[in-house]
């Protein structure tokens, strides 16, 4: 039984019933990562112009990466390293890509080089990687570099249902999340709208959600329309780091460059097919596909 609370009113003591405590309503938050930045300057600038706390994932060795990362940082937009990893398709990864054939030393040097190339970055996610993220040993190598030498978080893009990247990041004590929604596997604006709605539904059910999109005109058009509506829906757009609590700052990596020869990788899968069809690779493609029967 609640006790009466006395308040002063017209110089008299008046008994008043205590107000019922307000129920706590947790925030509903979403983070949206735009991958593959650094390849197409015009589209990348449109991404940086999007309203709100979009998280920008740049390819570490792409042509416009330094310009986009520096500009994003000046605009107080969060930057991630979009780290290329071997996938289940035939092709070649340029320098900056991680493959299963690398020695532990070479693997870790590539990771360190990518981190050094983007000093504005506060996190890492995988670019492709449907093969490599399912490799427990190599995911341990990756997390050892992140855990030992940086305060970066890690987001598992989940390009494979067999991915163990999230688990290894979590077990290493690295702040980590796993992608909930791909916004634009289909480059039709109506379908991107439906994926945007699915992101909101996940967030309202769980309290938060993380989505990944790409810098194509259809996705940008949908985000330009829909991002301003989030507040009315009771949803807050936040950077990925706002969903996490990164570790304290550690000693930064020394800058250096490591160049490796292209390496052949396995059969094309649906995610990489989408990447090609979307045109996000632009004219300077970091991945070049070839048919198995044409392999040397």
pLDDT at 244 (0 to 100): 86
Q: Minimal CA–CA distance to 212: which of 119, 275, 132, 286?
A: 275
Q: Minimal CA–CA distance to 192: which of 158, 227, 166, 228?
A: 227
Q: Which of 19-33, 35-49, 161-175, 264-278 has the lowest mean pLDDT?
A: 264-278
6 part of a folded domain: no
Q: Check whether 286 has a pLDDT greater than 60.
A: no
289 part of a folded domain: yes
CATH of the domain at 246: 3.20.20.370
Q: For residues 164-168, give the mean pLDDT.
A: 98
pLDDT at 150 (0 to 100): 84
217 part of a folded domain: yes
Domain containing residue 203: 26-294
21 part of a folded domain: no
pTM above 0.85, yes or no: no
Mean pLDDT of the chain: 81
Domain count, the chain: 1
52 part of a folded domain: yes
4 part of a folded domain: no
Q: What percent of the chain has pLDDT over 70?
A: 72
Residue 106 vs residue 10, higher pLDDT: 106
Token pair of 248 as six digits? 């304290």
pLDDT in tens, 83-112: 999 998 756 676 589 999 999 999 999 999
Cβ–Cβ under 8 Å, residues 149 and 284: no
């Amino acid at each position: 039984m609640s006790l009466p609370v006395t308040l002063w009113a017209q110089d008299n003591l008046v008994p008043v019933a205590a107000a019922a405590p307000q129920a706590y309503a947790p925030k509903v938050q979403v983070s949206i990562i735009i991958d593959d930045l650094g390849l197409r300057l015009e589209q990348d600038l449109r991404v940086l112009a999007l309203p709100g706390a979009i998280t920008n994932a740049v390819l570490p060795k792409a042509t416009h990466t330094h310009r986009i990362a520096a500009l994003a940082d000046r605009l107080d937009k969060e930057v991630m390293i979009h780290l290329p990893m071997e996938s289940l398709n035939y092709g070649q990864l340029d320098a900056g890509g991680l493959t299963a054939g690398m020695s532990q030393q070479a693997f870790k040097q590539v990771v360190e080089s990518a981190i050094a190339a983007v000093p504005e970055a506060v996190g890492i996610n995988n670019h492709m990687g449907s093969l490599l993220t399912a490799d427990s040993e190599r995911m341990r190598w990756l997390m050892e570099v992140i855990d030992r030498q940086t305060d970066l978080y890690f987001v598992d893009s989940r390009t494979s249902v067999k991915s163990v990247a999230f688990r290894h990041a979590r077990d290493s004590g690295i702040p980590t999340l796993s992608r909930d929604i791909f916004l634009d596997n289909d480059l039709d604006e109506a379908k991107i709208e439906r994926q945007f709605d699915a992101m909101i539904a996940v967030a309202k059910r769980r309290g938060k959600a993380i989505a990944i999109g790409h810098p194509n005109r259809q996705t940008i058009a949908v985000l330009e329309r829909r991002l301003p509506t989030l507040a009315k829906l009771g949803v807050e757009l936040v950077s990925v780091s706002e969903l996490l609590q990164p570790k304290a700052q550690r000693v930064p990596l020394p800058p250096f460059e490591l160049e490796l020869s292209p390496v052949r990788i396995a059969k094309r899968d649906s995610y990489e097919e989408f990447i090609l069809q979307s045109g996000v690779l632009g004219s300077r493609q970091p991945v070049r596909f070839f048919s198995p029967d044409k392999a040397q």
